[in-house]
């Protein structure tokens, strides 16, 4: 299946880079504009499959961009903004937005919302949970993971951490990378948070297997970080 094309309209480069990384890691094509006028020109020339649109753009208000966009295109739109008042959400939805995400946010959650909206836009049913050759089953829509057929009882960050490792078996992530990708929207955290969550994940994987071998699936690379053992199920 062709990769969906996402246009990110955000004037803060650091936020844009985070979103682009999350989308591309999730297998989507992602482009970036910093101005509303540039985004409209881009959409007129070659429409993307979905637009992530910041409300507070320097040239044109995001609401006005969406209103103009709706005159020639019905592409799904997700508003991205620091505003949280109910009236802003109502205005955004009434002018044709499909979702409304308030900063700060989880880039991976935003990517999941993009996937869900694209499925609805295409009229497709939600895919069945995907089994991998590493013994894990990932139900992204349900935000849950199973190991060897047994669903794991995971907290939010345990799920996000394990999902990232399962998506890239064998890849070593440093603590800093894991903090950036998993805990970006959390406050007052440290790299010891990663170690604590790895410990609890290992305990839950141990309990999910008769011989307790599941605990060994998350490997420690001293001085480097953590990875998921890519051994076959």
Of 129, 217, 112, nearest to 166 (Cα)? 217
Measure the CA dihedral 14/17/21/27, to 10°.
140
pLDDT the model gives residue 53: 94
Q: What is the pairing mode between strands 130-131 and 99-102?
A: unpaired
Say how many residues make up the chain: 233
Tokens of 202: 């290992």
| Residue 133 per-residue DSSP state | T
Of 67, 97, 60, nearest to 80 (Cα)? 97
Tokens of 83: 């505003």
pLDDT the model gives residue 100: 81
Q: What is d(CA 233, CA 204) in angstroms, rounded to the nearest whole number?
A: 18
**Domains with residue ranges and CATH for the chain:** 5-122 (3.40.50.2300), 130-228 (1.10.10.10)
pLDDT the model gives residue 112: 86
pLDDT for 40 beyond 80: yes
- Largest alpha-carbon pair distance within the chain? 61
Which one of 7-21, 70-84, 117-131, 145-159 scores highest in mean pLDDT?
7-21
The angle formed by the CA atoms of residues 9, 13 and 17, to the nearest 5 degrees, is 85
| Mean confidence (pLDDT) of the chain | 83
Kindly report, residue by residue over 81-118, the tens digit of the pLDDT: 876 665 566 666 667 777 888 888 888 888 888 888 88
Q: How far is CA 10 from the centre of its chain?
A: 17
pLDDT the model gives residue 138: 85
């Amino acid at each position: 299946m062709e990769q969906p094309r996402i246009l990110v309209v955000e004037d803060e480069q650091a936020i844009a880079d985070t979103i682009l990384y999350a989308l591309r890691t999730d297998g989507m094509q992602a482009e970036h504009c910093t101005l509303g006028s540039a985004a409209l020109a881009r959409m007129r020339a070659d429409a993307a499959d979905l637009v992530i649109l910041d409300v507070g753009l320097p040239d044109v208000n995001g609401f006005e961009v969406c209103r103009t966009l709706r005159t020639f295109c019905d592409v799904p739109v997700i508003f991205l903004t620091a505003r949280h008042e109910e009236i802003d959400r109502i205005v955004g939805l009434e002018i044709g937005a499909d979702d409304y995400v308030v900063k700060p946010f989880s880039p991976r959650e935003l990517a999941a919302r993009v996937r869900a909206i694209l499925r609805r836009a295409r009229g497709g049913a939600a895919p069945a949970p995907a089994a991998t050759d590493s013994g894990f089953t990932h139900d992204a829509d349900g935000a849950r993971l199973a190991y060897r057929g047994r669903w794991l009882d995971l907290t939010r960050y345990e799920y996000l951490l394990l999902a990232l490792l399962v998506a890239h078996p064998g890849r070593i992530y440093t603590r800093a990378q894991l903090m950036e990708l998993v805990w970006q929207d959390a406050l007052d955290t440290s790299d010891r948070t990663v170690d604590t969550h790895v410990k609890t994940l290992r305990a839950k994987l141990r309990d999910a297997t008769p011989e307790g071998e599941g605990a060994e699936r998350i490997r420690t690379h001293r001085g480097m970080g953590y990875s998921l053992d890519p051994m076959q199920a």
